[in-house]
Structure 1
Amino acid sequence: MNLNLPFSDNLPTNKLSASFANTSATYKFYWLIAIIEIVEKGQVNIKKREIFSRMISNSWYTVNYFHVSFGKQDLIQNAVEDILKFESLTKDIKKENLLSILENSKKIETKKLLEHFNLNVPHWFLSPWFPKLKDENNSNYKKRIYSYSQNFENCCLYGLYDENIIVNPIWIPYLKSNSKILKDFCYWNLSLFLQSRNPNVPDIPNKLIKPAIRNGLTKQTNEYWKNVFKELGYVECIFTGTKLLFEEKNFAIDHFIPHAFVSHDLIWNLIPIERSKNFSKSDNLPIFEKHFEKFYDLQKVAFEINKHHNSKSRYMDEYLSIFPNIDSFEKEKFSNTIQPLITIASNNGFLYMNE
């Protein structure tokens, strides 16, 4: 798959495309996405702080929930992590609430973090429209781009001012009519950029935007684990040892390795655990040396019960990503899947459970 920018007969779309050449950080993608979102609302005279706030809010979930690394020197990741602490916010705060806080915060630390983007982001994005100015020293280069852009020279995307930008009128119809394709272009290239920095992290594209609603696990409960409860009478929580009873609903189906890392609901990563433990475990990691044995034993029993119940069940197929076939449930192959995922998740910032 290769996404390109929509062509235009009267606009230098090659300049816009060139803005993403030699990308070494995420800010260009989030800068353009923010501008497009605001233009969609009908604004063309846009405060920079509003754009910077959207850059943070659009990357918030990717950094704080999925723990995707943007690179050690990335301004956005550092700002997102710091603002989480400075403003005492939660990682799952709603985007609208976060935007309001960022646009209106009086805290010096937050204002400094947002204003820091103003040093380079707005004018460097326009550099393809002003290639002849690149020989200038950085200070003069920045001033001249500000000056030239205000006349929309070379059909540049926007004019730059101290506190705001003004979108070039000739670009507004293009941005509005192609908004979805342009955002898809940004997110697709952003996913490629981040995948190169997170080669072992699964499903990067689906970690760029917070899903509106997480899928429930009712089907897995009723179509798979109910068979196990019915056969065994009860299931023992691998973390607390509590007897879990299907009728009493004193359990929740949980991801052994957090959903925030694996980004899927495959049955080989799901087990029933005590409801209160599910709440306290949250998105923390199990300790492999302590929890894998019981996890494997429960998974194996559940697998054998459901295989006997219906060997053609779609849940049997979900194990094929680990085993070459469903004739055996090899401990070593299962371990070789689970242990690396836990290690990689830990390296990406996920914390281990407190016992």
Structure 2
Amino acid sequence: MNLPSSNYLPVQKLASVFSSTSATYKYYWLLAVLELVENNHLIIPKRKLFAKMISNSWYTINYFHVSFGKQDKLQHAVEHILYFEALTLDEKKAKIEFHLEHTKNKETISQLMHFDKNVPHWLLSAWFPGLNKADIYQKSSQFENDCLYGLHKDTIEINPIWVNYLQTNSRVLKDFCYWNLSLFLQTRNPNVPDIPNKLIKPAKRNSLIKQTNEYWQLVFKELGTIDCIFTNTKLQFEQKNFAIDHFIPHAFVSHDLIWNLLPIEKSFNSSKSDKLPSFDNYFDAFFELQKTAFEINKQYNPKSKYMDEFLTIFSSIDSFEKEKFSNTIQPLITIANNNGFQYMKSSS
């Protein structure tokens, strides 16, 4: 991915900041800088930047359980701060940042300020190759080599010659960060689907109303009732005592494909959260329900767009093979558990 060119700025230096990266710090540090410069913050407290690094990675780590690597201190900091502070897994970014900028908790402050040891000057090594931390601080404070910002004890100061470029090209530069970050994380999570869409908390989860009315309503109409595979409760469309939910949590698969959706008891859905179902306990019932629903829709609504979604599992929609379905579901459950998703307790 190429950055916008400039006739007077060393853009090649900025383009090379991720060329040698062993952790996520640089990505989230530069993202924090860009977001604040975008809002015309030009002399920025380091703690404000560290708080934004935490907030930008919060949802990816806590909700999607994407691994940053065993040695990554940013992941450790997020997990520790979640434990020490009264914040939720899906907390809003603004609240996280405000909280971290003002907390008096010494453990939290220690987690934040740990990043001051290396992160601020590491990014500038592209402008000052081979120099130590003290020299980078001294030279950057004078904006030598047209570096991106100057380093001071508690703040950074954006180099005035870079301000217009950063603000004008903010969108592209943030995409540059996320693109490189997604490549970095994909190598550490090779079996985790859809890494790019797990880097930013969506403004709102997609509604499943269309899947309910355009696919599952037909199944309810044909069968009368559907037994919840988790609680054995008889679900009825008219009583609305069900919710359409993901068999494998959305937080892992990051999609709403019809082959991973099913109606379950509404009250159980509230308690299930993003827990994983046991393959041994629930797959057979899930498969039979999916096969029945598939055959009903194939008979009465064969041109439904949802039928094509099964082509991500089967080579055609002429058959609904248990082995192929199992070979998709079982590995996803195993990988999700390996990435930190917990199994739900059996309702029996």
- Which band: TM-score by shorter chain? over 0.9
Instruction: Give the deviation of 1:132 after TM superposition.
Output: 4.7
Percent identical: 68
* 1:32-47 alignment, distance < 5 Å: 32-47=30-45
Query: 1:229 matched to which residue of 2?
Result: 220
SS in structure 2 of the partner of residue 143 of structure 1: helix
Letter of the 1:169 partner, please give it.
P
Letter of the 1:299 partner, please give it.
Q
Give me the whole-angstrom Cα distance separating, in 1, the residues matched to 2:112 and 2:141: 23
Give me the whole-angstrom Cα distance separating, in 1, the residues matched to 2:103 and 2:21: 30
Query: 2:11 matched to which residue of 1?
Result: 13
Q: Which runs of 4+ in 1 moved over 3 A?
A: none
Query: 1:155 matched to which residue of 2?
Result: 146
SS in structure 2 of the partner of residue 273 of structure 1: strand
Deviation digits for residues 19-52 of structure 1 (CA, Å, limit 9, x no counterpart): 1111111111111110011111111000000000
Instruction: Give the deviation of 1:131 after TM superposition.
Output: 1.8
Give me the whole-angstrom Cα distance separating, in 2, the residues matched to 1:25 and 1:259: 26
Give me the whole-angstrom Cα distance separating, in 1, the residues matched to 2:240 and 2:304: 24
Query: 1:105 matched to which residue of 2?
Result: 103
Query: 1:244 matched to which residue of 2?
Result: 235
* 1:117-132 alignment, distance < 5 Å: 117-132=115-130
Pick closer, same or farther for the CA change 1:128–1:234 going to 2, 3 Å.
same
* 1:236-315 alignment, distance < 5 Å: 236-315=227-306
SS in structure 2 of the partner of residue 272 of structure 1: strand
Give me the whole-angstrom Cα distance separating, in 2, the residues matched to 1:142 and 1:214: 44
SS in structure 2 of the partner of residue 165 of structure 1: strand
Give me the whole-angstrom Cα distance separating, in 1, the residues matched to 2:193 and 2:129: 38
Give me the whole-angstrom Cα distance separating, in 1, the residues matched to 2:210 and 2:33: 40
SS in structure 1 of the partner of residue 244 of structure 2: strand
Deviation digits for residues 143-191 of structure 1 (CA, Å, limit 9, x no counterpart): 1111111110000111101100000000000000000000000001100
Deviation digits for residues 259-309 of structure 1 (CA, Å, limit 9, x no counterpart): 000000000000000001101111000000000010001001000000001
1:317 and 2:345 equivalent? no
Gaps of 5+ in 1: 134-140
Query: 1:67 matched to which residue of 2?
Result: 65
Give me the whole-angstrom Cα distance separating, in 1, the residues matched to 2:27 and 2:50: 12
1:197 and 2:188 equivalent? yes
Q: In the alignment, which of 23, 26, 31 is matched to residue 25 of structure 1?
A: 23
Letter of the 2:168 partner, please give it.
S
Moved more, 13-22 or 254-263: 13-22
Deviation digits for residues 188-215 of structure 1 (CA, Å, limit 9, x no counterpart): 1100110111111000000000000110
Deviation digits for residues 323-352 of structure 1 (CA, Å, limit 9, x no counterpart): 111111110000000000000000000010
Deviation digits for residues 32-74 of structure 1 (CA, Å, limit 9, x no counterpart): 1100111111110000000000000001000000000111111
* 1:332-351 alignment, distance < 5 Å: 332-351=323-342
Instruction: Give the deviation of 1:88 after TM superposition.
Output: 3.1
Gaps of 5+ in 2: none
SS in structure 2 of the partner of residue 131 of structure 1: coil
Query: Taking structure 2 as the reference length, what is the TM-score of the superposition?
Result: 0.98
Deviation digits for residues 77-119 of structure 1 (CA, Å, limit 9, x no counterpart): 1111111101032111111111111111110110000100000
Query: 1:166 matched to which residue of 2?
Result: 157
Give me the whole-angstrom Cα distance separating, in 1, the residues matched to 2:312 and 2:130: 53
Give me the whole-angstrom Cα distance separating, in 1, the residues matched to 2:84 and 2:263: 37
Query: 1:136 matched to which residue of 2?
Result: none
SS in structure 2 of the partner of residue 130 of structure 1: coil
Instruction: Give the deviation of 1:130 after TM superposition.
Output: 1.2
Give me the whole-angstrom Cα distance separating, in 1, the residues matched to 2:63 and 2:2: 29
Letter of the 2:257 partner, please give it.
L
SS in structure 2 of the partner of residue 201 of structure 1: coil
Query: Taking structure 1 as the reference length, what is the TM-score of the superposition?
Result: 0.96
Query: 2:74 matched to which residue of 1?
Result: 76
* 1:89-100 alignment, distance < 5 Å: 89-100=87-98
SS in structure 2 of the partner of residue 292 of structure 1: helix
Aligned alpha-carbon RMSD (Å): 0.7
